[in-house]
Structure 1
Amino acid sequence: MNIIFSEERMPGQAVVDKMIEAGKLCVLEEGMNPETIVVSVTFVDEEEIHALNKQYRGVDRVTDVLSFPQFDDLNDLPEEGEVCIGDVVICPEQALLQADDFGHSPERELLYLFVHSMFHLLGYDHMEEDDKTEMRGKEELIMSKIGIER
């Protein structure tokens, strides 16, 4: 799995290593070869994620993570070579606030946001209750596999 991280606002190496492990597990969970998958991860401040959220989702507020899938249907992926399935944008400041609200570590929140976003890139959504239940189950499975549980 090739994850291209932005240098700015990047969390510590332990979190980055867990993100790489989690990304690989997400891809494997979907029966895909992690050696062929590329994802970019950018860490931005509250002002930038607010602007992105407004521009791309029409929501005029700060959010924690945004996912930008490159494919509407993963069956359309090229069969050869590496392919970027999308971009993840995380706001560490918002993650810190949420971690405090939820009573868990900032590292856990950052990892959860990444896993959540990975499943969006892999075609999952949580608009309908059944879809939300399926997506949450997958998120919890991956978090458990990397040793980060509630």
Structure 2
Amino acid sequence: MIDLDNQTSLAVDLEALEKIAASLSDKEVELIITDDETIQELNAEHRGKNNTTDVLSFPMEAPFTEQSIFGMPLGSIIIAESFVKDKAAVFGHSIQDELSLLFIHGMLHLLGFDHENDDGEMRAREKELIEQFDLPKSLIVRTEEY
């Protein structure tokens, strides 16, 4: 289940995101869609990077055993509205498709994947999910450029 806090005017197909979330976990996930200023502040505070970014993920700090026992959420995903709109326009697909792509990226981080330190496992899983949900391949292209 997704607990959505949409702080913007961005239209969200919550049902589409719920399908993605349910394919990865049965835990609740908080999804916040926000503005550049807020995501920049969070990025600076939590990652030491004083710039805007497309998506941030904050896994729940409790051990997975406690999450199982107490039904705690998996964590929070924060997505910047401007990145959703801009990347959708650049890559020529819908805003919802871009939101879904960023949500997949955030969910995988919540589940412990880390593209900065793994040997391509996160990118491989992203590719599988993109194909499973018939989404545009732009995230694959973008991540392979890093």
The TM-score by the shorter chain falls in which range?
Answer: 0.7 to 0.9
**Identity rate, percent:** 29
1:61 correspondence with 2:48: no
* Paired residue total: 137
Unaligned regions of 5+ residues in structure 2, if any? Answer: 138-146
Shift of 1:77: 4.0
Q: Structure 2: which amino acid aligns with 1:5?
A: L
Structure-2 change in CA distance of 1:11 and 1:140 (3 Å): farther
Asked whether the 8 Å contact 2:32–2:79 carries over to 1, the reply is: yes
Between the aligned partners of 2:76 and 2:56, the Cα distance in structure 1 is 8
Partner of 2:23: 25
Between the aligned partners of 2:112 and 2:63, the Cα distance in structure 1 is 7
Between the aligned partners of 2:130 and 2:66, the Cα distance in structure 1 is 26
RMSD across aligned positions (CA): 2.0
Partner of 1:4: 3
Shift of 1:81: 4.7
Partner of 1:122: 111
Unaligned regions of 5+ residues in structure 1, if any? Answer: 28-33
Structure-2 change in CA distance of 1:12 and 1:58 (3 Å): same
Asked whether the 8 Å contact 1:26–1:142 carries over to 2, the reply is: no
Q: Which one has more relative contact order, counting CA pairs under 8 Å at least 6 apart?
A: 1
Asked whether the 8 Å contact 2:39–2:52 carries over to 1, the reply is: yes
Q: After TM superposition, where is structure 1 displaced by more than 6 Å over at least 4 residues in a row?
A: none
Structure-2 change in CA distance of 1:100 and 1:129 (3 Å): farther
Q: Structure 2: which amino acid aligns with 1:24?
A: A
TM-score, structure 1 as length reference: 0.81
Asked whether the 8 Å contact 2:58–2:77 carries over to 1, the reply is: yes
Asked whether the 8 Å contact 2:2–2:29 carries over to 1, the reply is: yes
Shift of 1:107: 1.7
Deviations 1:39-66 (A, max 9, x none): 1001110111111111111111110110
Asked whether the 8 Å contact 2:6–2:34 carries over to 1, the reply is: no
Q: Give the secondary-structure state (helix, strand or coil) at the position aligned to 2:57.
A: strand
1:87 correspondence with 2:76: yes
Structure-2 change in CA distance of 1:10 and 1:20 (3 Å): farther
Shift of 1:73: 5.7
Q: Determine which of 94, 100, 103 is the counterpart of 1:111.
A: 100
